[in-house]
Amino acid sequence: MTTFDPTKHLLSHRLHGFGPHEGSLSSLESALATSVRHIEIDTRVTGDGELMVLHDAKLDRVTNSEGWVREFRSSLQGPMTFLGEPEEPVPTLDAFLETVKRGRSDTTIFIDIKDHGTETEHIRLVEKHDLVERTWFLSWIPEALARIHQLNKNIPICFCYLPLIRWKRAAVFLAQRPRMLQRIQPIATRKGWGNMDEVHFHINDFDVPVNPSGLLMERGLGCPIHLLQNLPDGNLGDMIRASGGGIGLTPPSITTAAYLEQAREEGFHTLLFHIDTPRRILDTYENCQPDFISTDRADLFDFDWAEIKPRRRRKQSRNVKAEISPDTPSAPA
């Protein structure tokens, strides 16, 4: 009998599946009427200084507008609405938290801060709606989390990064995805991130401690995406532990049970992004015991997990398709 409890361990990723629009108030209200207890959202700031519940830096994918969120001004362009039917306004963080407050008292909101410099407004809104004890702050930007902790030490903070646990595992991961960097490169260039191909060089130097002293690692991707072999240490690690927070890891396929066990031993809660099949969720939980697993499937919150029979364990093969020695001087092209 599994001890997996979806109300404790599953986290709804952007409210996918609860309505036609991700992060909308209608999706939130639908989720609050179910067994969902943990909800993750992202925030972006507009040109008016308004915090919106949006993931993307650009408006094109999910709204009826175009361009950058940071350049959008409702005072000039009118209200921001979701793309498609039914027409619905994109919620402000203020309106979203107000709806959470009116709902069940056992709902926890995980807010992923995408824009550094908005931390004071985030804290103001959480405190305004008396949700300090029901909020976590996530971010890929260590400075954002450092500022949040400075403003309110009672709110858990969670640092998100790619856990490149072993050189071979990281190299195999990249070798099996030869088009990944090609797809990312145009985005990186447009956003001024620099040459993403440098990941092949930097992968040899990914074991770099992250401290809230500069937006980017000295050796890294040149954007707020961090590749770490070890757990966060220094000032950032101390702040995470003091807040009762943790680490957000993606993808789950390169995260090991030993790494999560070490995280627990060092005082970090763990969150894995994202898994959408019941079998994989259950196997991951039984093998790694993460505190939270995020999913894009709304139906899994009321899924009958007892229907999944324990899988027969087979001895893992040591053979891998892209066997690379740890002494290899450079990552695969």
> Is the distance from CB of 248 to CB of 226 less than 8 angstroms?
no
> Is the distance from CB of 331 to CB of 204 less than 8 angstroms?
yes
Which stretch of 151-160, 178-187, 221-230 has the lowest confidence by average pLDDT?
A: 178-187
- Is the pLDDT confidence value at 39 over 90? yes
Q: How far apart are CA 31 and CA 23, in angstroms?
A: 11
Domain boundaries, the chain: 6-303
Could you tell me which of 125, 157, 151 has the C-alpha nearest to residue 51?
125
pLDDT digits (tens, 9 = 90+) for 161-199: 877 665 445 555 555 555 654 554 444 444 443 443 433
Q: How far apart are CA 136 and CA 37, in angstroms?
A: 13
Q: Which residues contact 277 (CB under 8 A, 6 or more apart)?
A: none
- Paired tokens of 291: 């505190």
Q: Does the 6-303 domain belong in CATH 3.20.20.190?
A: yes
Task: Write phi, then psi, for 234 (nearest 5 degrees).
Answer: 60, -150
In one-letter notation, the amino acid at residue 134 is R
pLDDT digits (tens, 9 = 90+) for 47-70: 999 999 999 888 989 999 999 999
Give the global pTM. 0.80
How confident is the model at residue 119, as a pLDDT? 96
Using CA of residue 295, residue 96, residue 102, residue 240, what is the dihedral sign?
A: positive
